[in-house]
Amino acid sequence: MLDILVARLNNKFEKEFSYLKTYEISYFANSSVCNITFLYPQGIATIKPEQKQKITQFLIEDLKLNAAINVKFKKSYVDKNLVSKCFLEILKKYFSSLASLTSQEEIDIEIQNKIKNDDNNQCYQLLYVSVKTHISDKFLKNLNQDEIKLKLKNIIEKKFCAEFEFFFEKGKDLDEKKIEIQQKNELIKKLSDVKVTPRYEVFETVKVFGQQIEPFPEFMENIKENKLSVILAGNIENINKKSYKRTKNGEEVEKFYYSLFLKESGSVKKINCIYFCPKSNISKMDKLKEGDSILIVANIKKQNNYITAYIKSLSWCEIPKKIEIQNVPREEPTKFSTVFPERIFNPTQKNLFDIKEAYSENIKTNKFVVFDVETTGLDSENCELIEIGAVKVENGIFTEKFQTLIKPKNRISEFITEINGITNEMTENSPPAEEVIKDFYVFCKGAVLAGYNVGFDMKFIEKTANKVGLKFENDVQDVMLLAQQNIHIKNYKLKSVVKSLGISLIDAHRAYNDAFATAEVLLKLSRIN
């Protein structure tokens, strides 16, 4: 998306700046300054002052930003150490399993210079970089090389003025046991991140249906409340196959579900489990028998002090005779690591507390985080977050902004893209939900959470937080209820409410825009006349 700037620049000046590459765009709200940084090849001595002026003036006229534009130019130095370091960082971020098989010594880098003339007959070096990686033959056979090479090329060419080509070749066999231990330790660290969840390890897992399950179940004695996507292991007792009738397209259809008890090894604890079985999995479930050791992912539901686990995924496994807790103490997150909030500065924004009793006690005594989410669908059990947007409100003033796209594990459908405009390409380089939710947790510390029809949004927040051992214990307020109590209109969709209150909502169904409008509704309806 950033290269659109260069394309428009060259369209205006007939490819005079064809060697440039957009490197970074940053906006500072408190000073209303937009910094735009371009890369240029190391073969060009410098960007001339008159060229800088020409580019700056064009951007001012073309972008029409309500901010000062500061244009910078950065020379793209390409050497083997820089490329190697960048290459390993990309592997670690996007291909962690491949990164564990690769070391600096196993990377060969060749850089070739080619002289090229731009349309003004200015000569510069065009660099071609070949990155050759040696990995074990066993892993090389299972590597989706085309997909990885394309991803690497798209990312690294944004960081250098050079063309890259990647090769994977057979290298020495690696110590698989050492790699396995390293990956296991990283997995334990990830599962126990943020809050301590006592777990133990099972072995020899074989997937029956559903997702591949991480082999670190929780202890049943700690399962006491509703909880999503819990990993449990044990032996099957009293398994039964039952049927029920369901009407579909006017006809009665016979459906099946399985009930069983899962008994924890070496303990008297057991949990009742239910699996509503699709036709495709009946033959798999029929193979299960009394005493089998299984590993499951299930949603826990507590009703009348009775716990039921509704199975989503299941694997066979081997449970050790002696169970040891894999426990890595971790504290709750206290600082941002992936998504960093932005201060909101607006000199025209008045603190309405200058007028005594301008707002209700609710607003005066609480700090609010008004938020909205965009998702891949309506079902929180099976759909994912793809965007969080939030605004912090303190003393009637908008003080901070939290906004990020999120990369889902599954592709975004065309139907969802039509609703909110978020595409798979837009989220490709975004952080995963498990990382974003930690930063959102820090952002919301000590605040009341508010949203429009907020119950929907909270289901996705709580499900994601649960995966990393977090629990949002904030008070929650629904702005839609506030609207229903204070204004009388035909329907209470957010668009209708903001229109009735004279509030602007641009680009609805994008998380931050909806959150900002909801915050304005909250303040307007909380004002004491």
* Residues annotated as part of the active site: 509
Could you give the residue ranges of the DSSP H alpha helices within 2-135? 4-12, 49-63, 80-94, 96-99
151: which residues sit within 8 A by CB, 6+ positions away?
94, 95
Q: Which two tokens stand for residue 516?
A: 């900002």
Give the H or E element holding residue 285: helix 282-286
Q: Are 183 and 97 in contact (CB under 8 A)?
A: yes
8-state DSSP, 205: E
Phi then psi for 124, rounded to 5 degrees?
-150, 160
Q: How far lies 397's CA from each of 324, 440, 443, 445, 501, in Å? A: 51, 20, 16, 18, 19
8-state DSSP, 453: T
Extract long-range pairs of 382-387: CB within 8 Å, 24+ residues apart: 383/460, 384/408, 384/409, 384/410, 384/433, 384/460, 385/433, 385/436, 385/460, 385/464, 386/412, 386/416, 386/420, 386/422, 386/427, 387/420, 387/422, 387/510, 387/511
Query: What separation, in Å, do the N-terminal and C-terminal C-alpha atoms of the chain show?
Result: 47
Q: Which two tokens stand for residue 254?
A: 């016979």
